[in-house]
Every structure is written in structure tokens, then in C-alpha cells.
Amino acid sequence: MSRKLLMGPALRRLREKNQMSQSAFAERLGLSFSYICQLENNQRPVTAAVLLKLAQVFQVDLSDFSEDRSRRLLGELDGIFRDQRLAGDLNVTPADLDRMVHMVPSLAEMLVRLYQHQLHLQDELQQLVERFYGDSQQIPSAPFPHEAAREFFNRNDNYFDGLDRLAEQLALEWGVEPGRRASVLRARLKEAHGVDVVASEQGSHELRSYDARRKRLELNASLSDAQQAFQMATQLVFLAYGDVLQQACIDDPALADAQTLTLARQGLAHYFAGALLLPYAPFLQAARESRYDVEWLQRRFGVSFESICHRLSTLQRSGARGVPIYLIRVDQAGNVSKRQSANSLHFARHGGTCPLWHVFEAFVQPGRILTQVAEMPDGTRYFGIARSVQRGGGSFAAPRKRFAFGIGCELSQAHELVYADGWDLQQPREITPIGPGCRVCPRTDCMQRAFPPAGKPLHNNDFSESLVSYRL
């Protein structure tokens, strides 16, 4: 049974944005005053007919009424209230959290930010403790500036319309196409900015180095045509469109810190470069035609597996959305270096991610694409793929970096992915129960649990032993 669509607060915000009374709002939509009152108070679900009216009258994108953001916020609040150190004996029910998210979303968001700030303070204290006393005393880890920058992208659903459209326009104007991207951008840097682009064998770790005084951009000689183009596009946006980067960051109070702002600007520059190499409309069309076949898209656009995964997670343009894709990147030690979600999947902000996720199995089977149906504690199911990748190399002694990438979507949309062929999506036989992270995961019978749930007492018994490391 499909869930009733209750969207009273969203309707109220739309009405107030248009500076209309309830009676005027009802008249504009051709509905009764009492019906509008019931909709705004979540006493009646919104029907398809009403949604179509809203789209026609107020020119809103129906996908803007998706509950993905609310569900993601609900998952974050659920993690907070499972931390018994904060919640204590408070009896906060899922219904309480749902009402908070839908009735006062700004308050819910503020609570999440306060919790993140508390974790940040705890992390600073941990660093001081380790500096003076060693690492014997443990305090829960917390976000650093890079984590704050990462959340900036998540809050924007990993899509920046102005930057994306600019890149798409420039790609068309300049003729940025596979096989000639590097030559086009090299000529653009020279003609418009007087910058010479040269190959460099020095410093194998350095991919790009710009000398503003000499107007000289050095690129690692081992880079492919697409990689060179990506680095040139990144430098180009800093030289020519810094104001656009600044505008994308200016309204976010979480980027007030100088270091966080710098990291966000760098991330946006990379976003622009990816959008220039993979323009939105043709890439979305190719993704749909190939049913999101990453390897096929690699061959079509001449870029890496990683670049395709990144671009797939950004296809959230109003009126032209792709499948909402999550993306996660981990190393062999389990550290999460990148996590972005265009759907409702909630990633833990501390304590690591779930070891049952197939993204970790990808290191055992390098180069092979693995598939998985995973179920979160709230019952939401996701279909995902994972594969390991390698960076660097080029010579025997050259350093290499190894990552595993995982991308996926909610199970209800998995039929749009070629990787789901052969799966019974209605009744999948293999479902892996995963969680947001051991510290906040409510599962009591997981044999892979690495840490006990935060703030909850453990069940200790001298007369029994289990494969479950931490029993509640």
C-alpha cells in the first residue's frame, strides 16, 4: 500500500510565498476553502489532481514536493534521539519526530545543526586530550571543515543549477567534446587568460599547479586527455567565474568558516569541471538510453568510472531529473571520503558506515561490479552497485590510491538501472539488513557490529557467549 501524501506545511509555504490568503488560494485552484484548510492541516492527503492543479497554476515542479528531504531529515533526527547520552529516558516516538519534520522543519534542521556542533566541540576536546595525554581516552569523533563542506553539498541535493547551466552553455559554445576537450580548453586558457599549459614530470603527487605570476599551468604528464581537461576546467572556473562560485556559497551560514568556505569553493570548481565535460542534457539522455550503465557511459564520454558515478549523483535539475542516486567512496580502512545522496538514504556522520554494505566487498573482487539489495532499519530498501577503482600509477614505483565506489537508488526505482536485470524487485530473495552506522544503528542481532550503540547499556553474562559482539 502506497503511503498517503500529506504535505500541509509545503502547501502553506507555497501559499505564503505567493502572499495569498487561504480563501484566495482555494479560489485560484478551484477548490473549496474547507478543503484547503484540511490539506494544510494534514487532515486530507493530496491527490494527483491537486498536484496537477498546483503545477498548472503556480508553475511548480511536481518533484519539488518529494518527501526525500523530509525523510533524510527524519533519519538524522532518529539518529540523534537514539543517542541515549542526549535523549536519556525521554520517550520520543517516531510519530513525534515525523510531526516535527513536517510541521516545523526549520526547528528540526536547527536541532540537527546543534547536534553536529556538539560533535565538533567533542572532536576538538579529543584532539587536546590526545595531544597532552595520548589516545587512551576516547571521545566520539565529529565533523571537520571537510565534513561541513560535504554537508553543504548534501543540503543542496548535490545539484547547483546556475553553475550546471553555465557549464552546459560553455560546453556547447566552445565545442567541448570527447577526444578534443584538452585541446579546446588549452586554447581557451591561452586566448582568454594568457595562460600557458605545460606537462610536468616533477612531483608525481601533483596533478595541477598554477603559477599566477608567470601565468603558467603545469599538469601531471601522466594524465589522460579527459583528466587534463578536468584539471584545466577546474583552474578555468577559478580564473573566470570565481563570482559564480562565491554566489553559490554566499547564502549558507554553515560556510562562515574560512577553511570550510575554501573547501566548498574547491568542491564547486570540481562540480563545474565535471558538468563541462559531461553537459547535463546530453548526459541525462545517454544515461536514460543506457539505463545508467556506467561502463557504457565511460566509453561514450571517454571519462573514468569515478567521473560517471559523480555525474549520475547530480542529475537533479527541476523538470529534468534523473534517478535520485546516492554516492559513497571509501578506502580499504573503511574511511568514508565522499558521501552524497540525492535520495532519502541517511549516512552516519560519525562512527563509520555499515560493514555489511557491499562497497567493502568490492576491494576483495577488484574491477568487478557487485550488486546488492539493502534494507535500512526503517524498512526502506535500496538497490546499489559497488566497484573498486585505482588512481595513480603510470610507472612501477609510482604511488597508487585505491577506493571503492558505491552508487544506488531506492528499490522502487531500481528497474531503471540495467544492473537490476535478473533481480526480482518485488520480492528479492537476498536482502542485506544494513544500518546508518554502528553508533546509531538500532539492530540488536548484528554479528558485524563494530561499536556498541551510543549511550545504551550492554547485556553482560558470565554464563553465555554469542557471535554478536555487543548485546543489548
- CATH number of the CATH domain containing 420: 3.30.450
Rounded CA separation 386/374 (Å): 12
pLDDT in tens, 207-220: 899 999 999 999 98
Residues 341 and 354 placed together within one structural domain of the fold: yes
Q: How confident is the model at residue 81 (pLDDT cuts 50, 70, 90)?
A: confident
* Domain range for 350: 323-433
> Are 63 and 44 spatial neighbours (Cβ–Cβ below 8 Å)?
no
Whether 468 maps to a domain, the answer reads: no
Whether 446 maps to a domain, the answer reads: no
Rounded CA separation 30/142 (Å): 51
Residue with cell 546499489: 384
pLDDT higher at 12 or 328: 328
Confidence check: pLDDT of 310 > 90 = yes
Rounded CA separation 150/337 (Å): 9
Q: For 308, left (φ over 0), alpha (ψ -120 to 50), or beta?
A: alpha
Average pLDDT rounded to a whole number, residues 391-407: 81
| Predicted local confidence at residue 379, as pLDDT | 86
Confidence check: pLDDT of 106 > 80 = no
Query: CA torsion sign, 291 to 405 to 352 to 447?
Result: positive
Rounded CA separation 159/180 (Å): 26
Whether 161 maps to a domain, the answer reads: no
pLDDT higher at 351 or 282: 282
Instruction: Find the range with the poorest average confidence among 78-92, 249-263, 394-408.
Output: 78-92
CATH classification at residue 39: 1.10.260.40
- Among 65, 80, 106, give the residue marking a domain's end: 65
Residues 125 and 73 placed together within one structural domain of the fold: yes
Residues 356 and 417 placed together within one structural domain of the fold: yes
> Are 122 and 28 spatial neighbours (Cβ–Cβ below 8 Å)?
no
Whole-prediction pTM: 0.72
Average pLDDT rounded to a whole number, residues 270-274: 96
Q: How many domains does the chain have?
A: 3
pLDDT higher at 141 or 328: 328
Rg (CA), the chain: 24
pLDDT in tens, 145-173: 777 788 788 788 889 999 999 999 999 99
pLDDT higher at 4 or 341: 341
pLDDT in tens, 63-78: 555 556 677 777 788 8
| Predicted local confidence at residue 141, as pLDDT | 44
Residues 107 and 16 placed together within one structural domain of the fold: no
Residues 410 and 332 placed together within one structural domain of the fold: yes
CA angle 120, 325, 65 (to 5 degrees): 85
Residues 352 and 423 placed together within one structural domain of the fold: yes
> Are 442 and 359 spatial neighbours (Cβ–Cβ below 8 Å)?
no
Phi then psi for residue 233, to 5 deg, are -65, -40
Confidence check: pLDDT of 433 > 70 = yes
Average pLDDT rounded to a whole number, residues 258-264: 87
| Predicted local confidence at residue 396, as pLDDT | 73
Phi then psi for residue 208, to 5 deg, are -145, 135
Q: How confident is the model at residue 451 (pLDDT cuts 50, 70, 90)?
A: confident
Confidence check: pLDDT of 470 > 50 = yes
Confidence check: pLDDT of 236 > 80 = yes
| Predicted local confidence at residue 217, as pLDDT | 95
Residues 61 and 105 placed together within one structural domain of the fold: no
**Strand pairing category for 208-211 and 216-220:** antiparallel
> In whole numbers, what is the pLDDT of the chain averaged over residues?
83
Cell of 313: 549523483
Which of 108-122, 134-148, 444-458 is predicted most confidently? Answer: 108-122
Rounded CA separation 386/239 (Å): 36
| Predicted local confidence at residue 1, as pLDDT | 37
Whether 441 maps to a domain, the answer reads: no
| Predicted local confidence at residue 2, as pLDDT | 46
Whether 119 maps to a domain, the answer reads: yes
Helix (H), strand (E) at residue 339: strand 336-341
Instruction: Please state, for a pLDDT cut of 90, what percent of the chain lies above it.
Output: 38
- Among 142, 159, 191, give the residue marking a domain's end: 142
Residues 50 and 79 placed together within one structural domain of the fold: no
Whether 422 maps to a domain, the answer reads: yes
